[in-house]
């Protein structure tokens, strides 16, 4: 449970920072871009995408547990 919260939190923070930096350095100056015209929109979008991206990765240990495969190094 602790690692799930950590992965979500880290993904959201990194994504939000990336979204803000994207708006700051690249952004849309005309205001016609839905996401990058506002720092709030860009930061929120980045946070959502960052959270989803980091949670799409799964450890091999978790995959093995779901399949019922035991790790030989843990038998001791």
Q: What is the pLDDT of residue 73?
A: 63
- Domain annotation covers residue 31: yes
Residue 33 lies in a domain: yes
d(CA 21, CA 39): 9
Residue 42 lies in a domain: yes
Q: What is the pLDDT of residue 12?
A: 95
* pLDDT for residue 66: 67
Sequential pLDDT tens for the chain (76 residues): 788 888 899 999 999 999 999 999 998 878 788 888 889 999 999 999 999 998 888 766 666 666 776 656 655 5
| Total number of domains constituting the chain | 1
Residue 17's domain spans which residues?
Answer: 8-56
Rounded Cα gap, residues 58 and 72, in angstroms = 20
**pTM reported for the whole predicted model:** 0.71
- pLDDT (0 to 100) of residue 44: 96
């Amino acid at each position: 449970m602790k690692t799930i919260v950590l992965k979500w939190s880290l993904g959201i923070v990194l994504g939000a920072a990336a979204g803000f930096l994207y708006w700051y350095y690249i952004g849309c100056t005309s205001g016609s871009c839905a996401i990058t015209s506002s720092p709030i929109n860009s930061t929120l979008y980045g946070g959502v995408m960052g959270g989803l991206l980091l949670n799409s990765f799964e450890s091999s240990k978790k995959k093995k547990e779901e399949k019922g495969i035991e790790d030989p190094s843990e038998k001791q």
